[in-house]
Structure 1
Amino acid sequence: MTQPQSVARAAAGMGVATAVSRLFGFVRVLVIAAVLGTTYLGNTFQASNSFSNVLFELLAAGALSAVLVPTFVELIDRGDEHEAERLAGNVLGRGLVWLGVVSVVAIAAAPWIARFLASGASSTSLRDAQVELSTFLLRFFIPQVLLYAFGTVAIAALYAKRRFAVTAVAPIGLTVVLVSALLVFRALAGPGNVDLDLALPEKLTLALGATLGVAAFVGVPAVALRLTGFRLRPRFDRGDPAVHRVLRLSGWAVFQHSMIGILLVTAIVIGNRVEGGVIAYQVAWVFFLAPYAVLAQPIHTTVLPELSLSAGRNDWTAFAGSLRWALDSMAVLVIPVSVAMVSLAEPGMRVVVFGEAAGGGVGLLAAGVASLATGLFFYGTFLLLARAYYALGDSRVPALVALVTALAGAAVMVVAGRAVDGSAVVAAIGIGHSVAYALGACVLAVGLSRRTGRAIVPAALPRALVVAAPLGAA
């Protein structure tokens, strides 16, 4: 079997598993919207629950994911799994200590964090009510970063061992636990109750449900990795040059992942200007991620080991060829879907939403889906090209590009989001996100073309646009 064929087969298998997982993800976000509604209660829950993601992305995600995969690939492919276990344990041990300290500080600062997240509220009384509930929830949600650290190292090791499908289905555990908790919450609170003033059992149900859901999400790859014989446990060996190399690279990778945190924090603050804006954007984000996860991410994940091997051999023809194959595959698959999402956003949301999200929430959700979908191909391209730089051992360039373009996208969100009202606020957030990734993808493509001496452009782009044109006219 040729390299493109083997990569394509692995991508297809992961795509099927991811599709099943994303189906459960749709159920999760639709139940969140149905139970909490496009309301300020929904805004507060989603903003608080997202903060642990922001914290992890800003502080550790880069160090524990993209940088580790090429390193693990190199070690495992040469048969040195023991060294990979030792490296994973040392990185995890340092990550848990670092994130543990940050968690303690963040929990103490929860009232101030909550006030910042609610700063877009339209009145003082509303902001105070959001701050009170958010402070309670944050003290349960912030420690989730420790779970994310363990899960991310486990997933990186599974990627390096080419065990792709199990990582794709991990979110099913989160969905089952969180949906169960939301149903219990609705039974406790009563139908139609979306007030911010919740009783203690209702608050505990939301707080523990989300945190136990993350534990279930992390448990799937952790168990799967252990079943392969790979033993992941925190270690604290001193003077390890491999750990120092990973940490050196990860310093820049943290900046690259800060793009996610900057854009998400800005979206939360600006989205809270309108009732239901935060939860509408978060639900739209899940719909946006679905085609990326099913169509593009399997391509990224399966081509990354090939990029790492080609870079290690200084085979720039193979390196550029793998990148162009990935870009062509994404263009043909993603661009038509992106156009269809824009044109069908509103009727699609009318079909799928129910409960407290029905009615006025449809416009907010549709605005989020359509505006995010305009940048779907650029989002996938940016992440692919950033990983290509990691395969080259260079995390500085994608980090700097990510930081600058994230600030540009955040500026678009702030300026546009404050100039409009209603569903247009959510649309402004999505447009800012698309602008950031479009700029970043273009800059990285130019840089890789110069570095490899070969054009890094999708030759299939014209075909993809021809296929997409009728969908846009629908």
Structure 2
Amino acid sequence: MSERPTLARASAWMALGTIVSRLTGMLRSVALIAVIGASLNADLFNIANSIPNSLYILVAGGIFNVVLVPQLVRAMKNDEDGGDAYANRVITLGLLVLLAASIVLTIAVPLIMRLLFDATLFTPEFTEQRRSAFLLMVLCMPQVFFYGAFVLVGQVLNARQRFGPMMWAPILNNLIALAMLGTYAWLFGTSDAADGFSRGEILLLGLGSTLGIVVQAATLVPFLRAVGFRYRPRFDFRGVGLGHTARLGAWTLGFIVVNQIAFFVVARIGSGATIEGRRTGQEAAGQTVYDLGFLLAQVPHGVITVSLATAIIPTLSAHAADGRLARVGSEIGRTLRLVLILIVPIAVAVGVLGPQLAQVLASGGAASSSVGAIGTTISAFSLGMVAFTLHYVVLRGFYAMEDTRTPFWIQAVIAATNVLVASVASALVAPVWVSTILALAFGAAYLVGLAISATLLSRRVGGIATTEMARFLIRLALVTVLTCGLMVAASVAWLRLDLGPDGTFVAALLHLVVVGGFGALAYAAAAQVARLRELQYVVRSLLRRG
């Protein structure tokens, strides 16, 4: 692991920014359900505010995120100007595409709504809710341009080994969102409503959300000068290798398309559950509850996996460019072990303590009546938490080799599995269980994808399906089963002690702290006995300064 200290130090700064970003993002989500609840109004706003990010990814996000960094690194290595001209052309072309896409998508909002929402929303009974969704989506759609600008500038910084700003900038967006929700509560109060928003509420939510993305993108611009890059618009796109990038991006676009089809289907199923609950008077848990569980499941991924994966992309790209595929495999294998040693115990804790975590996050707010559904949804995401993050790491190996076709076919299988399981299973349950079913479908789909991606990459570069990995997985499985059993027993024992009023914030928080702390100690002790050196290495790296 001689190269890992540098990786660990680079990841530590990103992880710190990501931790703060994820924590403020979680606060934003908690504030959201506290202010506007988890019913139909919350779904209308959540979908309107999340669809620009989804559509940006559909338009250009995959190309910006996973294709451009290897190309920028190659240009820095081979071009006389250090890749500046190439980067200027990429930024110029990207901004033009984003601007055109933002205009077209805003015009297409009525059609997009038809894809996202169940047909029931377009009946006379839901006129006010439909109007709210339309106005919110129009106000949020310019975010497509600013999401793209943020990623374009961020990838130029990443290619120059400046990873921190891209991890820290979203914090400002989250703070603006928190201020917006606070202002909303002050002006309009809180409620778990399902009858649509007033015009004033729509303006505050829509414009406030878009302002956050604008500030997030603008924050990165000064850092370009700090790395010696001066942006100058260039329109000479021919003959500079952008065709190669576009060919790589074609498969990546296909990857994004199938992924976003799954997103649209899940959003339609989730919002359909809350619409059905509103129509029939049943308790429902749909898109907002699913989104909260998903966001929580993504916190470990963002803090641990994205930081490690982002830091190794330039190294993987360099190894692949020089034909050292065995080094690509060994880097991926070591990164997978580091990720597993940290993600697995967190997933166990989430699975066991989901109900208590939901009580801490949602008690006392407008969504307090949905705490039970939130808890089961959080627990159901524990499988997806592990499978998704490992699959994410494995795909970095394909992208480093500029293979975007294989990830497309793998993602097609994942999307099909997700859609099939979610559609069939959600139709068999009451609306209150829909968010839990969607979370389980997500985990099942990425478990299938992980099995395929790991097998294919290992056959090409090695370093994954090795004896060392097998021994590590056996030891980790034994430690995990032991830890899970002890945590379940401790949780049951704690509940039987009946130390305070059940279902209160204080009781749930004490449960989390005591049982979660016990589980962490049990895992650390069992890992020490099992000689899982990766955990010791991570701890030493985090404690090392500089």
Question: TM-score, normalised on structure 2?
Answer: 0.82
Residues 367/422 of structure 1: CA separation in 2 closer, same or farther (3 Å cut)? farther
Q: Which structure 2 residues correspond to residues 220-299 of structure 1 after superposition, within 5 A?
A: 220-232=219-231, 234-275=233-274, 276-299=285-308
Residues 234/47 of structure 1: CA separation in 2 closer, same or farther (3 Å cut)? farther
> How many aligned residue pairs are there?
473
Hey, what's the Cα distance between the residues in 1 that align with 2:232 and 2:378?
40
Hey, what's the Cα distance between the residues in 1 that align with 2:157 and 2:474?
36
Provide the residue aligned with 2:399 in structure 1: 390
Residues 222/461 of structure 1: CA separation in 2 closer, same or farther (3 Å cut)? farther
Mapped contact 1:272–1:278 kept (Cα < 8 A): yes
Residues 78/430 of structure 1: CA separation in 2 closer, same or farther (3 Å cut)? same
Hey, what's the Cα distance between the residues in 2 that align with 1:104 and 1:269?
24
Unaligned runs of 5+ in 2: 275-284, 488-546
Pick aligned residue for 2:480 from 460, 468, 473: 468
Residues 122/49 of structure 1: CA separation in 2 closer, same or farther (3 Å cut)? closer
Hey, what's the Cα distance between the residues in 2 that align with 1:332 and 1:120?
45
Mapped contact 2:121–2:129 kept (Cα < 8 A): no
Mapped contact 1:48–1:114 kept (Cα < 8 A): no
Pick aligned residue for 2:421 from 399, 412, 432: 412
Hey, what's the Cα distance between the residues in 1 that align with 2:196 and 2:359?
29
Task: Please state how far the C-alpha of 1:123 moved relative to its aligned partner.
Answer: 8.9
Larger radius of gyration: 2
Mapped contact 2:35–2:189 kept (Cα < 8 A): no
Task: Please state how far the C-alpha of 1:349 moved relative to its aligned partner.
Answer: 1.0
Q: Which structure 2 residues correspond to residues 121-200 of structure 1 after superposition, within 5 A?
A: 121=120, 124-125=123-124, 127-192=126-191, 194-200=193-199
The amino acid across from 1:165 in the alignment is G
Residues 427/236 of structure 1: CA separation in 2 closer, same or farther (3 Å cut)? same
Hey, what's the Cα distance between the residues in 2 that align with 1:306 and 1:300?
10
Task: Pick which of 242-251 and 90-99 moved more.
Answer: 90-99
Task: Please state how far the C-alpha of 1:332 moved relative to its aligned partner.
Answer: 0.7
Provide the residue aligned with 1:313 in structure 2: 322
Provide the residue aligned with 1:440 in structure 2: 449
Task: Please state how far the C-alpha of 1:259 moved relative to its aligned partner.
Answer: 4.5
Hey, what's the Cα distance between the residues in 2 that align with 1:126 and 1:467?
54
Mapped contact 1:35–1:355 kept (Cα < 8 A): no
Mapped contact 2:330–2:463 kept (Cα < 8 A): no
Task: Pick which of 153-162 and 323-332 moved more.
Answer: 153-162
Deviations 1:136-179 (A, max 9, x none): 01112112111111111111122222222222112111111111
Task: Please state how far the C-alpha of 1:274 moved relative to its aligned partner.
Answer: 2.8
Residues 322/185 of structure 1: CA separation in 2 closer, same or farther (3 Å cut)? same
Residues 17/467 of structure 1: CA separation in 2 closer, same or farther (3 Å cut)? farther
- 1:4 matched to 2:4: yes
Deviations 1:429-467 (A, max 9, x none): 112211222222221111112212554464432233233
Hey, what's the Cα distance between the residues in 1 that align with 2:109 and 2:424?
27
Residues 112/127 of structure 1: CA separation in 2 closer, same or farther (3 Å cut)? farther
- 1:304 matched to 2:313: yes
Provide the residue aligned with 1:23 in structure 2: 23
Task: Pick which of 399-408 and 447-456 moved more.
Answer: 447-456
The amino acid across from 2:438 in the alignment is I
Mapped contact 1:49–1:141 kept (Cα < 8 A): yes
Provide the residue aligned with 1:422 in structure 2: 431
RMSD of the TM alignment (CA)? 2.2
Residues 176/77 of structure 1: CA separation in 2 closer, same or farther (3 Å cut)? same
Task: Pick which of 111-120 and 317-326 moved more.
Answer: 111-120
Task: Pick which of 106-115 and 408-417 moved more.
Answer: 106-115
Hey, what's the Cα distance between the residues in 2 that align with 1:423 and 1:466?
35
Deviations 1:324-362 (A, max 9, x none): 101111111111111111111111110122454442221
Task: Please state how far the C-alpha of 1:322 moved relative to its aligned partner.
Answer: 0.5
- 1:47 matched to 2:59: no
Hey, what's the Cα distance between the residues in 1 that align with 2:391 and 2:333?
13
Task: Pick which of 55-64 and 223-232 moved more.
Answer: 223-232
Task: Pick which of 97-106 and 135-144 moved more.
Answer: 97-106
Task: Pick which of 277-286 and 88-97 moved more.
Answer: 88-97
Hey, what's the Cα distance between the residues in 1 that align with 2:233 and 2:247?
19
Mapped contact 2:113–2:134 kept (Cα < 8 A): yes
Unaligned runs of 5+ in 1: none
- Highest RCO, 1 vs 2 (Cα 8 Å, sep ≥ 6): 1
Provide the residue aligned with 1:36 in structure 2: 36
The amino acid across from 2:98 in the alignment is L
Residues 414/454 of structure 1: CA separation in 2 closer, same or farther (3 Å cut)? same
Mapped contact 2:160–2:227 kept (Cα < 8 A): no
Task: Please state how far the C-alpha of 1:70 moved relative to its aligned partner.
Answer: 1.2
Hey, what's the Cα distance between the residues in 2 that align with 1:122 and 1:132?
10
Task: Pick which of 367-376 and 301-310 moved more.
Answer: 367-376
Provide the residue aligned with 2:352 in structure 1: 343
Hey, what's the Cα distance between the residues in 2 that align with 1:271 and 1:125?
21
Provide the residue aligned with 2:58 in structure 1: 58
The percent identity for this pair of structures is 27
Deviations 1:6-38 (A, max 9, x none): 112222332222112211111111111111101
